[in-house]
Structure 1
């Protein structure tokens, strides 16, 4: 891999880390970038998953003040994310590579739809939290929903953050800022366990994983500090364009 490709992957990692910390869907930046450089889909997915974990942790660190008082919830829902992420990672490893290649266009399409509908989801959640007290309670179905989302995240994970904030936004009575901090932790757990499995037994391109990790860490810190000040429509537009481009490339091939 040449210097130009390495630089572009690093930049994509910064963008993904920033977007993941502030919104979610950073995979729709890094994954298509890797595919554009000819990286096989499964190798791209496992290397990307490993690389993005430090970015999620950096984003969680940036939101550490909002995590205060959420230890019990983190332990409960973190276990759900852990189990789901492990199952999703195992599915990726045991299913044929052809199965992943067949479902990737569907997952990318789903991710693009979620990015487009993200503002509507956010407004709905914001209205709900304007009407309900932030008493910290959570619905019974949040735990299994997070576990199922962990399976999705361990297998692929595009727009996982958008789905996560929607689920906990509906089911947990907390402020949006505290929910976003929780989202970063849960995504890091789901991706972290699947990334550990990939590191042990999968075909990982460690140069790619390292480049994304460095970029995503910088982006995670940036996203936690100024992500809410960045023009969300611009970021969303970039993600949608990249995702649609990747989808078209898959269908053409």
Structure 2
């Protein structure tokens, strides 16, 4: 049986000429990013952070977030990101005798300090990007290690995030689901992020909510959709992805079946 391919270190340029809304995403890797043009909106279910050109940000592994990439009026959305694979992080931690202390409760994406060291690093990197193709993994790894040195010089506390290699621990199920129901994830992903096996997740869920996860999620999403339509005067096309549905016609069918009225007629 073939072994799964190990994750590779990556340096990426993202470029969008039209607004891009990614309904939900699990941040699979720690990443250091620089906003070149356009803006990025990151929402975690409770808070919203906007990154403008010139901002440095850090994305935290195993966090849920929605991303909206917005091009500038006369320019594309462009960002540069360095994605840290676990192997490179472990190597660096061993080489420099670093380890995480504590377990900081970080948001999925946050701004880093504007610092000349960071600016010099990304300016240099942009000039040499053609050399960092997928076939140059060792060269990419060296650049990622250089980035780690710079990041830890600017914000030493990042070591508590970067070198925390634990899987998510068991957390409060009710608080997590109330914050995260808008994300369209499989039950296995919800279970993983709460630190449970799928069977333990289902058992704990029904004990906490007296409903199956599927029934509770549908009810909670529909209630939130009704609130956004009625109280916030949002359009149906704005609401259905916001509350975790992927298809507009399916959302409209389920909404009418539950409330007895088309979502587009709520404020008429």
Q: Give TM-score scaled by structure 1 length.
A: 0.26
Higher strand share: 2
RCO comparison, higher one (Cα < 8 Å, 6+) = 1
Q: Give TM-score scaled by structure 2 length.
A: 0.25
Greater Cα radius of gyration, structure 1 or 2: 2
Higher helix share: 1
